[in-house]
Amino acid sequence: MAQAVLAELNEQLKGRVETEIQREDNYSRAEAYHQHYFAQHPGQGYCAYVVAPKVEKFRKTFKHRVKASA
């Protein structure tokens, strides 16, 4: 998916995107209580005032790419 988006942007911007996609070798999954934190704690200060506006902007900007919620 990321490669397809990068190719699309490079086409639109005439090859000016300088992003390299690499595998993260030292990645480890966070503990269970961190999973889906925003969905489970929408009223928590950081979620409500920092994350929520960013999520909303993302959904508006990329609504043609975001799957409908179940």
pLDDT tens sequence for the chain (70 residues): 889 989 998 999 988 888 889 988 998 999 999 999 999 999 999 999 999 999 999 999 988 887 776 5
Q: Where are the domains of the chain?
A: 41-70
How crowded is residue 12: how many other Cβ atoms within 10 Å of its Cβ? 10
- Is 57:66 a contact under the CB 8 Å cutoff? no
Contact 15/8 with Cβ under 8 angstroms?
A: no
pTM of the model: 0.57
